[in-house]
């Protein structure tokens, strides 16, 4: 798989599934790629002590992340393939946060398998992520798996695993 600007420099060697995985985060008005999230070291997570109960985070801001995967399709074209959301609640001032590691791992696995389910994310956030993905890699957006674009642009679409 070619090295892509979306995934940045990969520390993974060999042909493993994580090479095509990226994290796109939505923090307030900002949408950005932060692949440190793959190893729980995104810029919003650094310096934060994570707790087991969201109620223990005094003034949390809700950050929505998306695991986005790439796939090389028949004919050699490469495009977006899987997308699953995950959630972080961070209080930077108190240096506390909450996240479900199990949710993140399950979502990562589903995205790698090609599942797209962003229906739980508000439409305005999905549309902002769609615009961001189109802007940074229009080629990958154009060659995305069936249903990928529609899931981000429609009101609650779900596309299951494409490897069946």
Task: Give the pLDDT confidence score for residue 16 in this predicted structure.
Answer: 61
pLDDT digits (tens, 9 = 90+) for 110-150: 999 999 999 999 999 999 999 999 999 999 999 999 899 99
Every domain of the chain and the residues it spans: 17-159
pLDDT digits (tens, 9 = 90+) for 108-117: 999 999 999 9
Distance of alpha carbon 106 from alpha carbon 67, whole angstroms: 10
- Report the 10 Å Cβ neighbour count for 58: 9
Distance of alpha carbon 93 from alpha carbon 129, whole angstroms: 27
pLDDT above 50 (res 156) = no
Looking at residues 10-31, what average pLDDT do you find? 77
Distance of alpha carbon 50 from alpha carbon 88, whole angstroms: 10
pLDDT digits (tens, 9 = 90+) for 51-74: 999 999 999 999 999 999 999 998
- Contacts of 164 by beta carbon, 8 Å cutoff, 6+ apart: none
């Amino acid at each position: 798989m070619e090295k892509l600007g979306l995934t940045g420099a990969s520390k993974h060697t060999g042909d493993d599934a994580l090479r095509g995985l990226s994290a796109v985060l939505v923090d307030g008005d900002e949408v950005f790629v932060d692949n440190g999230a793959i190893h729980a070291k995104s810029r919003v997570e650094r310096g934060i002590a994570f707790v087991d109960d969201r109620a223990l985070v005094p003034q949390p801001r809700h950050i929505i992340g998306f695991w986005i995967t790439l796939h090389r399709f028949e004919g050699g074209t490469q495009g977006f393939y899987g997308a699953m959301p995950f959630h972080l609640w961070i209080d930077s001032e108190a240096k506390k946060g909450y996240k479900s590691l199990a949710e993140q791992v399950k979502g990562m696995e589903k995205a790698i398998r090609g599942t797209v389910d962003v229906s739980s994310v508000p439409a305005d956030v999905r549309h902002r992520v769609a615009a961001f993905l189109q802007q940074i890699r229009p080629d990958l957006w154009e060659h995305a798996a069936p249903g990928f674009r529609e899931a981000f642009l429609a009101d609650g679409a779900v596309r299951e695993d494409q490897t069946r």
